[in-house]
Structure 1
Amino acid sequence: MLNRRTFIKTAAAVGLSSIVPVFQPLRVAASDVNSNASVIQSSDSIKGGTQSLMAIEQWENLMDDLDCIELATWYTLLTSVAGNRTGVGGESLSFYAHCPFCPSSDSLYMRDDSYHCCNCQSHGSAIDFFMKAEKCSCATAIDGLRSMLDSGKLRGRVPEWQRYRRILAETRRFYSEVLCHRMEGVVAKRWLSEQGIGVDTIERFGLGYAPLDSDELLLDHLLDQGYSPHAIEASGATFRNTRGRMKDSCEGMIIPVVDHEGHEYGFCTNRNMVDSDPSAADHWVQHTSSFSERRLRRLIVPAPIWPQDLNKFEEIVITRTAWEVVALHSIGIENAVYIVQDWHRPNPYAMRTAFALAQTLIFPCRVEGDTSREIEAIMEQVGSDYRRVKLLSLPVGRWLTELLQRQGPEAVRAAIRAATPLSQALSS
């Protein structure tokens, strides 16, 4: 039987891609790339450089922004409601329509993000639909559809995204005000100061605080700002408990999750931070909205800006929590990032972003005990790029913040400098 240690040593000997399909070069998901999109397909592990990377992200953003049902109404008639499903803002409808690509009627099944004809088997995204309807190339379709969105000919899902972003932006501003300027945030602000987190770092990351003794403080504020209960809940700023009562989603210390344009996608929160060990991973809760999924899945904190941040660092440290990024940046270690979606699960989109930012990724790894699970999780993430990965052995605990608290900034810098290649660990 192939146990973990044998698996790892075999992988080092014969190559990862020889063992399981998941260990392949990082690529854009097949569902996101059309066969005509040669400029996008050429981006294998960012080998195509800045132009290819930006082309991928342009494609993904457009996929998120378009509404396939709205686009189809330019070419065919919707004939009946096929059903409903849970969407970002609640339930969204799907439809049947006449297929413009074959003689069959009522065979085209439409959702907001895809279409499929049961007769001619034509299927794909809104971009695929436009390419087939207009008989044009992928590049022409991307330019044409983006122009239609920008001009208002198509609304897409953009107005919905913008509404939720405004709510999350106000949520961020409100909690920042609580931390910096209200009595409820005095204890949290004092605690941050004790951790060496100054005003500049607080402002840079937009840190905030949600008082633990109020379940509806934010909700009341957003209602006063004129937002509807439905929109507030759909944005993720609040949720309904088992009794159906709306409550604020965030508690305790707050680190916003934002993209390079400052758009909020959610928050990392820790309700125990001020009173207990802030480095414990199970204390952190991530509240991220489901809108604009393709943008969210590639996010890292802090978010890079292309093209100027391409290959910005020789090495970057992949932290386990957003708080570690804040703590490291506060002591001048800026080559540290947090992957918004758990890096223990395969996420080629975030890895694509990270590898575009630096030549080498450094993953913290505990010294004591069996490390094979951690190494296996890292290999599942990086695939054939494992030779561009180093392991940072933590002599104290499992978190960089623990090392920082107990031994100081220089110990953290020394541990980063001493990181060893993953390939060396595989062969030892």
Structure 2
Amino acid sequence: MRIPEHKLDEIRQAADIVEVVADVVSLKKSGQGFTGLCPFHNEKTPSFRVNPDMGIFKCFGCGEGGDAFSFVMKTEHVSFMEAVRSLAERYNVDLPEEDSTPEQAERATRFEKLYEALRFAANWYYQQLKHHEEAEKARVYLQKRGFTIETIRVFGLGYAPPSGQALLDAAVQEGIDESILLDTDLVKPSSKGEGVYDSFRDRLMFPILNPSARVIGFAGRTFDENKGPKYVNSAQTDVYNKSQVLYGIHLAKSVIRQEKQVILVEGYTDVMSLAQHGVKNVVANSGTALTREQLELLKRYSNRLLMIYDADAAGQKAMVRGIELALEMGLEPETLQLPEGEDPDSFVKEQGQEGFIEHKRKNTEDYITYLLRLAEESGRLTSMHERVHVIEELVELLAAIPDPVARQVATQQLHQSTHKFRGGSDRELHAAVDASVAKRQQRNKLRQTRTEDSGPRTVSGASQAEGPPPIQDEGLPLDPSAEISDSVTPSKRRPEYERRLLKLCLEHGAWMVDYIYQYVYPSFLEDSQYREFFELLVERAKRQEPIDRSTFRAFPSSTPELLATIFMEKHTPGSRMSERMKQNRFDQVDEVMEAKSTMKVLVTHYLQRLKASITTEMSEDKLPDTRRQELVTMMREAQKQLNTLQSTAAEHCFENPAGYDPEQKRKEGFSYTPKPRKSS
């Protein structure tokens, strides 16, 4: 089904790019936009930018960019159509009815089918909990645990009947393919070699959702612990990885931002009970050891982490490991221990929201205080040698903190906490932490070297261009057919001057495209995607079609991503500075002079690449004499034009467009109005 263009525009206008991105990234105001840690690659310093006025995002670290549609597509691994449906549903935009024909279902992407199957299963399990006769024990269990109907609905709890094919039969009847059910681990192949059976049977079902509130997997709790493990989780699939998800994150993320703190617990029912009693900034790591991926997810919403684990040995060990990982990831971990025999579920039911908050206020410990208390309770501070080991362990822990200031503050805290039995000044501790940091860096460097050494080796220069097409001896502008292979001068980053040129075209429209095209041909651009886009602009200018930002935002495929690359600046002025620049004519940019400067740089680089390509071809042994002579002539002409460019100011390298008066800028601020087009 093709969605009408006006409907896509309606969704674009309704969708708040900041709100959409904030589901996944913790954003901070910066200038006229927002910044955050990129969700598409690992980074410690934010290089991800969102511009709400343009409705686009861009990462200056990995290069990803686009609009709200492309962000949903990339983060949720769905097609364009599914992203459109998701945003339309979220922002209450009605879409045309879609005929559910077999052909259209077949065209749907695999990820869409996986999500659809999981969503169906979650709804089906929920209905079984409400109506199935066998679900009475589940309903009684939840009632005894004190969970309200609203809590059950919000968390989407369900029931898997004991029959081995109940879900399978319902899903197949709904038109869901058996292979999709296998790929989502909703069913498993029979050990007898024929047929499949439901993965979850006679269990209380906890659907697990990603930050965008899409079902990605399940956890099932048994009612008879003699018949297997208490909890069984979905196996790893293309949309579910247990080590990368957190239970309840879709409900807690906005509250975490408001509270500027996330509470991490161990169990599903801990999350539900706390949320039911008004403590909603809580998630669980779902019975798995805390992982870096889970902490990366939490870091999107807050750096402050309060860990509440069981007081037994296993819980304390998990807490210590969690603290180490959190510090390495740049988070600020704290701990809270509940009274013996209590867990978050039982404690909040007994004490209520106020009692829990009061206990949290009085008993929250920083990680240094917590770890020293553990050492003292285990008798490790009574012996001199044990005290040394405890301090050494804490020094090693502090060395993992990536931020130098945070590390210094933590070292000072360690000094104050251990001074009573350690003595001396804080200098020794700071020196010990610095030495541990140096050792850690050396280990990481060695590990990285080993990884690089074990990687594949490549031969430099193995792939060379065969040589450039001929260039006409006509001076500037050069022959538009003289395109140089991208492989001559491979570039890791797109040329900034080419980005500026395209931005000028989009900001000022057809007259700017016509002016630049007098001196710059598409073949001059090194980046292939920029080159194709400039060709498109030239063609649209010839046909007198609109050339502006809003027009190209409506284009499908990779165009919105390209617009993000073109328009997003790494450093932008704040709103006050921007307003002042608008009011001060001396701060306004002369677009003609900017175009001339950009063209000079671009043509200079083109000529340098051309020379390199000529040199490569001339080095061939079996080059015919006639071709060699052609190349010598081409090299001489390219060098001549290069000398002219390098010795001439940009404003004199190219003629002014008709109607442009350079004195106008100096006297009263630049204002250029192109001559009206002649109708063809």
- What is the TM-score normalised by the length of structure 1? 0.58
Residue identity opposite 2:38 in structure 1: I
The question of 1:286 aligning with 2:236 is answered: no
Matched residue, 2:259: 313
SS in 2 for 1:165: helix
Matched residue, 2:583: none
Distance in 2, matches of 1:204 and 1:44, equals 24
Given candidates 227, 234, 244, the residue that maps to 1:297 is 244
Given candidates 66, 69, 84, the residue that maps to 1:143 is 66
Distance in 1, matches of 2:114 and 2:279, equals 33
| 1:396 and 1:402 in contact (8 A); partners too | no
Matched residue, 1:265: 216
| 2:243 and 2:294 in contact (8 A); partners too | no
The question of 1:420 aligning with 2:369 is answered: no
| 1:179 and 1:208 in contact (8 A); partners too | yes
Given candidates 208, 222, 236, the residue that maps to 2:171 is 222
Distance in 1, matches of 2:240 and 2:125, equals 24
The question of 1:170 aligning with 2:153 is answered: no
Deviates more, 1:389-398 or 1:285-294: 285-294
Matched residue, 2:155: 205
The question of 1:346 aligning with 2:346 is answered: no
**TM-fit CA distance, 1:337:** 0.8
Gaps of 5+ in 2: 1-23, 42-59, 74-78, 83-106, 374-680
Distance in 1, matches of 2:192 and 2:121, equals 24
Distance in 2, matches of 1:176 and 1:371, equals 32
**Pair 1:424–1:319, CA change in 2 (3 A):** same
Instruction: Mark the structure with the bigger radius of gyration.
Output: 2
SS in 2 for 1:373: helix
Matched residue, 2:333: 389
**Pair 1:377–1:387, CA change in 2 (3 A):** same
**TM-fit CA distance, 1:233:** 0.9
Distance in 1, matches of 2:28 and 2:80, equals 30
Q: Percent identity?
A: 17
| 2:308 and 2:335 in contact (8 A); partners too | yes
**TM-fit CA distance, 1:334:** 1.3
| 1:366 and 1:395 in contact (8 A); partners too | no
Distance in 1, matches of 2:318 and 2:62, equals 41
**Pair 1:56–1:290, CA change in 2 (3 A):** farther
**TM-fit CA distance, 1:187:** 2.6
Aligned residues: 297
Q: Deviations over 1:18-53 (max 9, x none)?
A: xxxxxxxxxxxxxxxxxxxxxxxxx99988989444
Distance in 2, matches of 1:345 and 1:315, equals 17
| 2:306 and 2:333 in contact (8 A); partners too | yes
* RMSD (Å) for aligned C-alpha atoms: 4.2
**TM-fit CA distance, 1:267:** 0.8
| 2:263 and 2:283 in contact (8 A); partners too | yes
Q: Deviations over 1:354-375 (max 9, x none)?
A: 2343442121244455876234
Matched residue, 1:399: 343
Given candidates 306, 319, 323, the residue that maps to 1:379 is 323
Q: Deviations over 1:144-167 (max 9, x none)?
A: 994996389xxxx98111101111
Matched residue, 2:305: 361
**TM-fit CA distance, 1:184:** 2.8
Residue identity opposite 2:113 in structure 1: R
The question of 1:160 aligning with 2:116 is answered: no
| 1:390 and 1:420 in contact (8 A); partners too | yes
Distance in 1, matches of 2:301 and 2:25, equals 15
> Is the helix fraction higher in 1 or 2?
2
**Pair 1:141–1:357, CA change in 2 (3 A):** closer
**Pair 1:224–1:294, CA change in 2 (3 A):** closer
**Pair 1:139–1:304, CA change in 2 (3 A):** farther
Matched residue, 1:196: 146
Residue identity opposite 1:346 in structure 2: T
SS in 1 for 2:66: helix
> Is the strand fraction higher in 1 or 2?
1
SS in 2 for 1:311: helix
**TM-fit CA distance, 1:169:** 0.7
Gaps of 5+ in 1: 1-42, 61-136
**TM-fit CA distance, 1:313:** 1.6
Matches within 5 A, 1:234-273: 234-244=183-193, 245-251=195-201, 252-272=203-223
Residue identity opposite 1:374 in structure 2: A
Given candidates 135, 151, 170, the residue that maps to 1:185 is 135
Q: Deviations over 1:119-162 (max 9, x none)?
A: xxxxxxxxxxxxxxxxxx8776643994996389xxxx981111
**TM-fit CA distance, 1:397:** 3.5
Distance in 2, matches of 1:45 and 1:302, equals 13
**Pair 1:361–1:183, CA change in 2 (3 A):** same
Residue identity opposite 1:350 in structure 2: Q
**TM-fit CA distance, 1:312:** 2.1
Matched residue, 1:86: none
**Pair 1:368–1:258, CA change in 2 (3 A):** closer
SS in 2 for 1:56: coil
Residue identity opposite 2:66 in structure 1: D
Q: Deviations over 1:362-394 (max 9, x none)?
A: 212444558762343212431346772121213
Distance in 2, matches of 1:172 and 1:370, equals 32
**Pair 1:240–1:374, CA change in 2 (3 A):** same
| 1:237 and 1:248 in contact (8 A); partners too | yes
Distance in 2, matches of 1:301 and 1:178, equals 22
| 1:310 and 1:356 in contact (8 A); partners too | no
| 2:155 and 2:206 in contact (8 A); partners too | yes
**Pair 1:351–1:141, CA change in 2 (3 A):** closer
Matched residue, 1:72: none
Distance in 2, matches of 1:44 and 1:163, equals 26
SS in 2 for 1:290: coil
Residue identity opposite 1:426 in structure 2: L
**TM-fit CA distance, 1:421:** 1.3
Distance in 2, matches of 1:151 and 1:161, equals 12
SS in 1 for 2:275: helix
SS in 2 for 1:393: coil
Distance in 2, matches of 1:241 and 1:166, equals 24
SS in 1 for 2:192: coil
Distance in 1, matches of 2:115 and 2:269, equals 23
**TM-fit CA distance, 1:318:** 0.7
Bigger relative contact order (CA 8 A; separation at least 6)? 1
Q: Deviations over 1:181-213 (max 9, x none)?
A: 3323233123212222111111111110112x3
**Pair 1:353–1:329, CA change in 2 (3 A):** same
Q: Deviations over 1:215-273 (max 9, x none)?
A: 2111111122122222211121111243234221223111111124331100111012x
| 1:361 and 1:390 in contact (8 A); partners too | yes
| 1:300 and 1:339 in contact (8 A); partners too | yes
Distance in 2, matches of 1:151 and 1:191, equals 41
**Pair 1:194–1:352, CA change in 2 (3 A):** same
The question of 1:231 aligning with 2:180 is answered: yes
